[in-house]
Every structure is written in structure tokens, then in C-alpha cells.
Amino acid sequence: MRSISLFFRVPLAEIGYVRAVVEAHEGLAYVRSAAANRGEIEWLVPEPLGEDARAHAAARAAETGLQEIPRPADWLVDPEV
């Protein structure tokens, strides 16, 4: 199944919480970051769940300050993984 990438900025202290909550929703998204000291994360979302993932992100934004951003130009994580 094809996936889409959504990129977010989030306070470093909230990354673990966001990852746990998102990944607890089985199959919604896989969360990864390029570096532990960077407040940017990527959600790999199955294409059919894109709208659900964005709705979930809106809920997390209210709790954590999560903000969707464009793919960072220096994002070095392999897009095919």
C-alpha cells in the first residue's frame, strides 16, 4: 500500500507523547524523526488514511503545539523506508 508523508514541528518534550498516541491507533501512522535533538517528525500514513491522520494531528495540535510543516529541505531520512 502506498503511503504519504506528513511533516510536523513539535516541542521536543512532546515527541514521545505524540509518537505513543499516534502509534497506539494501529495502522494510522508510523512516526519517525531525523534526529533526537530536532523538533521535527514525519508521519508515514497509508494513503487511504490521510484525512484521518490530519484530523488526528489537529487534535494533537491543541494538546501539544504540533504544527504541520512542509518537508524540511535537509530531511535526510530515506523517503522509501
Residue 54 lies in a domain: yes
* CATH number assigned to the domain comprising residue 27: 3.30.70
Residue 79 lies in a domain: no
Question: What is the span of the domain harbouring residue 9?
Answer: 3-69
Angle between helices 15-24 and 50-64 (to 10 degrees): 140
For 64-78, what is each residue's pLDDT tens digit? 999 999 999 988 766
pLDDT per residue as tens digits for the range 8-56: 999 999 999 999 999 999 899 999 998 888 899 999 999 999 999 999 9
| Contact between residue 25 and residue 15 where contact means Cβ atoms under 8 Å apart | no
44-to-50, 71 alpha-carbon distances in Å: 10, 12
pLDDT at 79 over 60: no
